[in-house]
Structure 1
Amino acid sequence: DLNNNVDIQKAKEKEPPFHYKSGSIVRMIDFGPGVESPLHRAMTIDYGIIVEGVFELILDSGEKRIMRQGDVSVQRATAHKWVNVTGNGTLPGRVMWVLLDCKEVVDAKGEKVEGYL
């Protein structure tokens, strides 16, 4: 929403929400050596770009992918976690995310999927 500078007001907030309804957020996060995120699911479409380092992306199914500088992942409201394995867990790493709002997600049974962090 660009009317009445609503977008500017949101950008000035100290703690923006995880995502904006019908909007987007870009986040740059530094991971310390060996840091592992919790398993989480955001009700967003996430583009994760490895800026620096090597990360292991782990899905709730157990599927794993090694991601290196320049690699991009697309998470479609999926449960996942990140592990910084840069330098065998001895060096920091950096990831940038672009988070886009998405419509309500339902599973194969027709039940609403909820996000968690």
Structure 2
Amino acid sequence: MSSTTEPTSTPASTGLPPLRRVITEHDADGNPIINKTLSQHPPSISPGGMNFTLGYSLNESPAILEHDQDLRAYQDRLPHNVGLSIRGGTVLRIVDFLPGTEAPMHRTATVDFGVMMEGEVQLIMGSGETTVLRRGDIVGQRGTLHAWKNNGNREPARGFFVLVDADLPTVNGTKLEENIPNQQYM
């Protein structure tokens, strides 16, 4: 695959620009190059008014780059549902929220670093507290019960998230656990 390959459209029509990813590696002589074995169009699924795109994942931290072990592990995961997080690993995910879409309330055993790339979404905490995240806003989601909602009726939104495995805290003597009502997410 050439590094000039044009991106294709996302699985469900969002009106947002198509995603293209570039993965780097080294050739046999140690020169940095663009990987040509992975598609520049990462896989996506579209449950319930959202597009979940798996940009990349790592099975462990620190990542083992020797002999492209991380690339092989990622490719091995592709035919299967990755889930929202990887125990001991890291997931890079882009989520497109169609207008009016609300993700179910959930908690993952991760710290999620997020950046709103397009549009805006409402972050709804399990306590009922809310805030609106707009283009350029960042969020550090630390294992809390939360949901996302695109309150707009015309504009889609896109968020970029890196989910890093974490041990959930104990609160008032109770160890918090993952709460993922619908496991269909990539």
Once the two structures are aligned, what percentage of the paired residues are identical?
32
Could you list the runs of 4 or more consecutive aligned residues of structure 1 that deviate by over 3 angstroms after TM superposition? 3-6
Separation in structure 2 between the aligned mates of residue 17 and residue 37 of structure 1, nearest angstrom = 15
1:104, distance to aligned residue in structure 2 (A):
4.0
Separation in structure 2 between the aligned mates of residue 4 and residue 108 of structure 1, nearest angstrom = 46
Taking structure 2 as the reference length, what is the TM-score of the superposition? 0.57
Which of 134, 142, 156 is residue 76 of structure 1 equivalent to?
142
Taking structure 1 as the reference length, what is the TM-score of the superposition? 0.87
5+ residue gaps, structure 1: none
Give the CA RMSD over aligned residues: 1.6
Separation in structure 1 between the aligned mates of residue 115 and residue 98 of structure 2, nearest angstrom = 17
Q: Which of the pair is proportionally richer in helix?
A: 1
Q: Verify: 1:101 aligned to 2:165, yes or no.
A: yes
1:114, distance to aligned residue in structure 2 (A):
0.9
Q: Which of the pair is proportionally richer in strand?
A: 1
Tell me the equivalent position of 1:115. 178
User: C-alpha offsets along residues 3-49 of structure 1, whole Å, 9 cap, x if unaligned?
Assistant: 55442223112232422233211100111111000000001001121
Matches for 1:58-73 after TM superposition, within 5 Å? 58-73=124-139
Higher relative contact order (CA 8 A, sep 6+): 1
5+ residue gaps, structure 2: 1-62, 181-186
Equivalent pairs counted in the alignment come to: 114
Which of 74, 90, 113 is residue 11 of structure 1 equivalent to?
74
Higher-Rg structure is: 2
Tell me the equivalent position of 1:91. 155
